[in-house]
Structure 1
Amino acid sequence: MKNRKIGKYEIIERLGRGGMAEVYRAYHANLDRYVAVKVMHKFLADDDEFATRFEKEAQNIARLKHPHIVQVYDFEYDNTTESYYMVMELIDGVTLKEYFAEYEQKGQPIPLEDALRISREAASALAYAHKSGMIHRDVKPANLMLDSKEGHRVVLTDFGIAKIVKGSQMTVTGGLVGTPAYMSPEQGVGETGDERSDLYSLGVIMFQMVTGHLPYDAETPLALIMKHLNDPVPSILELNPQLPKALDDIITRLMAKEPDERYASANELIDDIRQLEAMLTGDTTTINTTTPTKRQVLPKDTTSESDIDSPTLPIRKVVVQPKPTPIDEPKKPSAVILFGMAFIFALIVLIGGYLVGMNVGIFPSIFGTNANPTALSVVLVDETEEPTPSSTPQPTQTRAVEMTTEVPVVIIPSETPTYTLTPANTAPPTNTPRPTNTPRLTSTPTTAPTETLTLTPSQTFTPSPTPNMTLTVAVEQTATYAACIFDYAIIEQTPKDGREGGFFRTNSTYTRRLTLLNTGTCAWEVNTSLRFITGSGQSFGSTPILLREAVDVGATVEIEMVLRLPSVGSQEPLSGQWQLRTRGQLPIGEPITIRILVADF
């Protein structure tokens, strides 16, 4: 899009790109003003409701006027590119993500004074937006700009984008909107989240700023989401004992698993940060830094944020409990975890059924084939803490979820009227001691010809290894895909593109070899394709190219394009655009443009 116009804005250069949009530096001649233009990817417009949602949310975003929120000037649809775009204030500076990288190179975290100021100003933006009824839902370092012209003023960007793209995102990925490393537990299980979800994400950013590390690390997006759901919040003092205990309390409260245990409002968080800043600068305000029996939040000050922030909302003071120690009684399952397991099972059914229908992917190898759908009633049992030897086993709470799925199930009857659910094509069981009171599948007679099975755990439930193996693999394949970022980089192409590649004879066969690197977060599946985009230029008689092998993250693949050049030459390179797409037709990165000089000689 370089050296062209979109609407009344002259495009100068591309500043960045993501899974939903590209951002350009542009110039508005009439106002003599440089702006940032965010152009939404064309595939989003395939959602029938996208136009309405875009206009509504863009109007809401444009109403936000706050020094720590990027100002939106205009929004429109461009007929030439068939894309919606949004015109915003151009911030001259770096993102917090880039600021992190500067300090990573030095091998140290961001200075505490800067970290607290950045956190407070970001919280100020959230307080104002929340008061206006706007939830961000994707607070992360890449969406926080530091304005170099105004003393690294924090500017929060991409407000409302998560909601604008939600319809299309739900359709193509299964419902997860956000960034797994900064996603709250409730967002990780498919809930939309509220103000407290934004505060959780800010808590993760604070943790990263003062320690130089993320609180959780994992190899896959799904594993990362599960850690946010289940793992205790690590203490910043374990990574840096010199940090204030009061700061550890703030971050622990922000990152509480249950939303009700977090700060009730961003203004409440601002109060605590201000008190901590006062303590560090030697203000007369005192804060109790001794180790209490329970983690106490900082005492609330009467100091309010400046007039640019919203007034304090009604709040409920929450005391953050210390990290749990083993107790005699099993822990009551969290409502978020219960819902999360139900959500994951739903993902397995929806996406798993689709893959089985295609007879591809991991599901056929696990379950085998079966022409008859089986109605399966499943009881979800939450994992509880292991009781101490002196404890008395207590029944765990369960939630029954009945699902009808076409995933084949092999039922092997035994000599007694009980049934065992056994995946096909699995390794033979090892000689391990059989757990006592393993789950039983009991037959429930009904008038329907299909038998309904009910999984009934006893009070001392111990899951058998085989069904757990199946669940783990299935969830990994579905929920991971839901959080994928697909992208590529061109490592090499022969011949070179455009004029660098030289002239080629008309009516000849032309071969272009591309070496592509998978720079996304997930592998490209078998049957990922490279297809010509109709109406974008010369197709050169190309046909879709399918990848016959999966391409892992960080791996390269060579694609050979055999094209037929036209019968008429040209002084300028002829061009065409091809789009790399997943098997499910999700775009991988931006289109690839091929330019060829064709001449008669």
Structure 2
Amino acid sequence: MAEVYKAYHPGLDRYVAIKVLHSFLADEEGFLTRFQREAKIVAAFRHPNIVQVYDFDFDPETNSYYMVMEFVDGPNLKAILRDQTNQNEVMPLEEAVRIVVAVASALHYAHQYGMVHRDVKPANIILTQKGQVILSDFGIARMVNTNTLTASGAMVGTPAYMAPEQGMGQAGDERSDIYSLGVVLYQLATNRLPFDADTPLGIVLKHINTPLTPPTAVHPAIPLNVETVMMRALAKSPDDRYATAQDFATDLERALAGESIALPKPTSSAGERLDATIISPNEQSASQEWTATAPPAGAALRSFPKWPFALGGAAALLILITLVLFTTGMTDRLAALLSPSTPTPTVVRPPTLTPTPDVEDTMAILSTQVAAGVDAALSTRDALATYQATINAPTVTPSPTATPDGTATARAACTFEMQLVSDRPVLPAILTPGQRFIKRWSVKNSGTCAWPTDTQLVFVSGDQTTVVTEPKIEPLRPGETTEIRLTLQAPASYAVYNSVWQLEYGEEIRLGEELNITFQVGQTPTVPPTETPTATPTPEVTTGPLYAPQITRYGMTYWRLDEDTQMWHANITIDAVGGDGTFTFYLDEINENNVFVNGSQLSAQKCRPLIGTFYVLSAGQVSKMQFWIPYPDATACE
């Protein structure tokens, strides 16, 4: 999906890493928007355990997008594990915990800004020469058009580290990253992956269905408290895992220190809760008895009838269906075939472990659709079920029933939510009568399902304003963020205008919190004239070519929190050099509606940072700088 090059920047006298995305991605619909959105967010990150992104752009000669990043001089964790395996060594548990806690800190930071990694694995974890842990490749997985991949049968991620819900075709959320990091911890502590198979699909199916072998069954020296934390991070159901990466890291450090860790009762697929065991350090000499957790709903293998031919015929049918679905990529039908009527947890003793093959293929196989084969397999399965029902039950004449509303049924099972990530101020600060302007919000799907296709932004209350262009609200997947852009036209009268808007779907069903718009129409302020000083003779100089303008710094001069809206507002100033000494600043885009007047306000939700891009124009030349301004009162966000 990408190639990485080491390059030297002579102006700054440092090496950088340039990640060049494969050119075929440039032809994907909407890739430019996704690339710019994800790259902007990642470039704004400032965390000691996240690789720093300096710049991103498009190279027309190679038809490729690229990102310029911090060069980290050191091996990745995959290479370290390979060396340890060759030497038949296991990483000390203290070092494994140190690495995982550092990665968890990076994930927790990114998750707070709506960024899910989706491909946490040793190859993306780098250790510097001084031992600092760096997590790379944030945002790369989200740049790919997951809709296109799903249609062709591919998945984004690495099967060996993929959470069960990702293997079933779901986008995943923060808890999917926690699962992947749990796999990394399992591998570091035991020198083996929790699941192995001959094919990527086989590994995915084991993540979905096969109970986890306890780490102590592989490496008995692991403390049971640490095992408790690992088992929770690797729970099949996302609801049974840690809610945040920070919680995972905290429990892991406590367990390593010998503190007792209580494993919450996992939620079974039938809604019942299973008993959990609280493990203390004094119990470490106890027997290694354990209970496997049940797979999540829709993931367990189907129980077939015990007919004389059932063992051979059903097994052959399952293999046939698996092979056909693997070649076609119809993961939704695979999930249907694997769905049980009554899932039953199974106690399985630890198998004899064999060396795990290297199966880190980031992209699963893309193949030709064989719909006829799938339909035949499904028909065979349905025929078996029909035959069993026929011989076990008397014939009953069915009564006519109403056809269910599929859309309504699907929506009833979903929770549709929207979280406001950032609220961009209207620019310029004072509009002229009739001037067109753009209002922007960054929002996140915080629900359980993709937003309905009929979702729209509607006016709720306040001052009516002429709408020039209505935004198209895409069916955003859970955990993803997007920007809503509403183009309006300012009224003719001088005043301050306020209005409330909200997302809506179906029969006027509101989605998420209210979105506010506040702007002012008035006379554009002019700079008062200054007294012209008496000119003094200056020596003649030979003027050289002007160099491009550069933003040297940006800063906050004042900020306040609006308790009613829970939005914080800050006055921002920018300094620049170069050009002809006269500068025009823009926010996010260069157009007349995005002129940024020095000292204007920017706003964001409480505890969230101000993120964006400043552009400076002078003497016909342009440069840009990504900015990230954290919430000033960090203690209020703990």
What TM-score comes out, normalization by structure 2 length? 0.46
More relative contact order in 1 or in 2 (CA 8 Å, sep 6+)?
Answer: 2
